[in-house]
Amino acid sequence: MRSEVWAVLAVVTLLLISSFMIPTGGLEGTELELRRDGETAVLHYSLPGHEHEYPASVVAFPIEQYRHDDITMLFDIGGVDDNSSNPANVQGLIDHLGADLQNIGSSREVEVIDHDALASFFSSGNGTLILASSLWDDIGLCHAAEAWVLAGGLLVSIGHGSIPFTSEMGGTLQLHYSSLDYDGGRDVSTTPFSQAFGWRTVAPSNGLLVKDVLDASGTVLGPIYHRGMDLTTMALIPYGQGAVLVLGGPIDKPFRASMEDVFAWDLARCLEAEVAWAIGEPTFVRVEVGSAGAQGSVALDTVDDSTYSLMGQNLDDTHLVFLHKLVEN
């Protein structure tokens, strides 16, 4: 009997371990170089070959600043409502995001705080905070969150209710959500950032109104779903000296479409590449890389004296290719 119990435990352990396995790989053979000449610039790239052909993207875009913040995430088992992500999914995002950042070679750490530590966090200066639940029951924290972003903080919000200073809470940010019907991916338009990065979060139950994003001088990062009104899964909104990186939500099934695995994949690359501080659309090329690798170049659409964020990555799970570089003028 005891041997049978141990056998069952062994199988369960293997299943749990395999559910968190993410393909890993090296960065050898990946090269990115931006060559400027007056008002022109060309991005040269080299991507390593692999026994299995894989899709890849090479991206360049200007940014207004770069900060290598660690990432703080609120884990609040008491903040669950219809708009909040379930604590089990939030814990899954914490685990997956930490693993994804490590796999792409990032030195960023994921730190976890609870509700009681938020006031201290907001008073400690700039940083990056991920909220996947509502703070609406604490007006003082809502005001503190808004002041923190205005002073330079980066808020990553997942799902309706995760931005504590929308107009619904007496704040100034006019941003609304609506139910998003994936409908088999029909009537969907890509955006430059969604093409360049190949975001994997494609079917959250609620999306953001594109009109509100544009009215707030924001940038639509995700694809646009035409559902009577235009909705998107991800957007960037500048707010004072800081910014709000807004994602549809909440984190929920189905797997590989709107659960923690795809949110983590998108956020790891988005944050590492400094998309939150983008001040222009990306120039990019998507290529199929065979066993001999791929080399090429792409001319940037517009060039100024900004710092540029460069990224090369594969877009599937055959193996890992990821390189990010910052190029100052």
| Average pLDDT estimate for 101-113 | 95
Contact 46, 287 (CB under 8 A): no
Pick the CATH number of 24-63+280-327 from 3.20.20.80, 3.30.1360.10, 2.60.40.10, 2.102.10.10: 2.60.40.10
C-alpha distance from residue 18 to each of 5, 8, 12, 90 (Å) = 20, 16, 10, 19
How do residues 193-223 score in pLDDT, each as one tens digit?
999 999 999 989 999 999 999 999 999 999 9
The Cα–Cα gap between 144 and 58 comes to: 38
The domain made up of 71-275 is a member of CATH 2.30.30.140: no
Instruction: For residue 174, give the DSSP letter.
Output: -
pLDDT digits (tens, 9 = 90+) for 35-71: 988 788 999 999 999 999 999 999 999 999 999 899 9
Q: What is the pTM of this model?
A: 0.89
**Residue 87, helix vs strand vs coil:** helix
Which contiguous run of DSSP H or E holds residue 213? helix 210-215
All structural domains of the chain with their residue ranges: 24-63+280-327, 71-275
Q: Tell me the Ramachandran region of residue 191: left when phi exceeds 0, alpha when psi lies from -120 to 50, beta otherwise.
A: beta
Report which of 319, 292, 316 is spatially closest to residue 56, judged by C-alpha positions.
316
Measure the CA angle with vertex 323, ends 322 and 326; round to 5°. Answer: 150
